[in-house]
Amino acid sequence: MAYLFTSESVSEGHPDKIADQISDALLDNFLAFDPESKVACETLVTTGQVVLAGEVKSHTYVDLQSIAREVINKIGYTKGEYKFSGDSCGVISLIHEQSQDINQGVDRGTKEEQGAGDQGMMFGYATTETNNYMPLALDISHKILEVLAGLRREGARIPYLRPDAKAQVTIEYSDDNIPQRIDTIVVSTQHDEFDSDEAMLAKIKDDIINILIPEVKKLLPESIQKLFTDNINYHINPTGKFVIGGPHGDAGLTGRKIVVDTYGGKGAHGGGAFSGKDPSKVDRSAAYAARHMAKNLVAAGVAGEILVQVSYAIGVVEPTSIFVDTYKSSHVDMSDGEIAKKASELFDMRPFAIEERLKLRNPIYSETAAYGHMGKQSRTVTKVFESPYNGRIEKEVELFTWEKLDMVDKVKETFGL
């Protein structure tokens, strides 16, 4: 019998995502001026206030308040009527130095001996149902909100949009796990005041269906466009009015959208958040490495769908386990345990090896903090950082290195594909 599966995404203006973006902007600035910085930054946003907390060990100093304000303004919170603005909000910093008890387990005589920054398990996932090896419902949800943000900034076609928004997509699958059609799309977007609530709802629904959705479809291959039939159930701003939003409507915290950040409920999640954490924290670095492993295995043809789990003990160099689940989609004559063993020999999952392989001690994290950490295109960019304490620097960095298919040939050779 056919079944339904749903994933959601949230916009860059969602309170939790504002917090993530501030935390990662702080991390990037520390890493730009001191690549060996150890950072764990948490952010709280609420009406007119930003609170920064956490632990940092670094040889540099950054202007935390200015960075937070810049992020908020860039997202689009620039007006007094939003009750939250980068120019007027209060910014309180409660950040202090990293615990020596934690640091002694991470820093060792040589970098190769670097232990994991914490215990825990991390997951990576990949599937052939999209070109970027991501779950389809999540991929479409992200694209809906990225296009919506573009329309907000453009301002011409949908001029009333405000930064806060959420999207949700439900897809019908056949018994053999093939997407058949899009069943439901939910979009809730913050907006300016209208003279009439009835006219407001009608206008927003019409614009979402007839302006936004066609722009989203253009970004998708023809095989996915066919899933957009005339029988989609649309729920557009189903609660009605959505003028009050952002941190004035709901408080936001770093790390509260971990499923949006990863695979939209497909596969699994170990529970650790990403944003604000330097790569010595395996919550982040090992999750990226597990995605890199899963994606390259699937792209090489080992299986149509793969989940990778890796686990660590704090201060210990080698992972405590590596697990692979192919969901019975394997294309090789091996058990999942045998696939895991061969994969672990190909991909060095020690913390420092991950940092080196994926170039994680670079200021590459602001770009991850909205619309998902996985599924983006790896690319090289030049980033500029300015500080009243450290001057101005330009750094060429490679973004989303864990999305590269740079191990496919080695995987094929190892698995005889």
Give catalytic status of residue 242 as yes or no. yes
Q: Give CA–CA dist 244/159, Å, rounded.
A: 17
Q: Judge whether 396 is annotated as a binding position.
A: no
Give catalytic status of residue 192 as yes or no. no
Same CATH topology for 3-9+135-244 and 120-128+282-415: the answer is: yes
Nearest to 94 by CA among 68, 128, 115: 68
Beta 305-312 vs 252-253: how paired, if at all? unpaired
Give catalytic status of residue 17 as yes or no. yes
Q: Judge whether 165 is annotated as a binding position.
A: yes
Total residues belonging to the chain: 417
3-9+135-244 carries CATH number 3.30.300.10: yes
* Per-residue pLDDT, 197: 87
Nearest to 67 by CA among 26, 39, 18: 26
* Per-residue pLDDT, 389: 84
| Averaged pLDDT in 10-residue chunks for the chain of 417 residues | 94 98 98 95 96 95 94 94 90 81 54 78 97 98 98 95 97 95 97 89 96 97 96 94 90 97 96 96 97 98 98 93 96 96 96 96 98 97 91 95 98 94
Catalytic residue, chosen from 281, 295, 361, 373, is 281
Going by the DSSP 8-state scheme, the letter that residue 115 receives in this structure is P
Q: Give CA–CA dist 312/323, Å, rounded.
A: 12
Give catalytic status of residue 162 as yes or no. no
**224 CB-side CA count, 13 A:** 20
Residue 93, classified by CB atoms within 10 Å of its CB into exposed (0-12), middle (13-18) or buried (19+), is: middle
Q: Judge whether 281 is annotated as a binding position.
A: yes
For residues 380 and 412, is the Cβ–Cβ distance under 8 A?
A: no
Beta partners for 41? Answer: 54
Catalytic residue, chosen from 277, 291, 342, 373, is 277
Give catalytic status of residue 257 as yes or no. yes
* Per-residue pLDDT, 80: 84
- Rg of the chain taking only CA atoms, in angstroms: 22
Q: Which two tokens stand for residue 200?
A: 């407001």
Please tell me whether residue 311 adopts helix, strand or coil conformation.
strand
Give catalytic status of residue 251 as yes or no. yes
Catalytic residue, chosen from 5, 242, 347, 352, is 242
The CA–CA distances, whole Å, from 131 to 182, 295, 306, 403 equal 18, 11, 15, 12
Give the dihedral sign, CA 15/19/20/22.
positive
Per-domain boundaries in the chain: 3-9+135-244, 120-128+282-415
Give catalytic status of residue 410 as yes or no. no
Predicted TM-score (pTM) of the model is 0.95
Nearest to 295 by CA among 399, 416, 408: 408
Give catalytic status of residue 111 as yes or no. no
Q: Which two tokens stand for residue 374?
A: 């996985």
Residues 120-128+282-415, CATH architecture? 2-Layer Sandwich (3.30)
Q: Judge whether 241 is annotated as a binding position.
A: yes
Going by the DSSP 8-state scheme, the letter that residue 80 receives in this structure is G
* Per-residue pLDDT, 195: 85
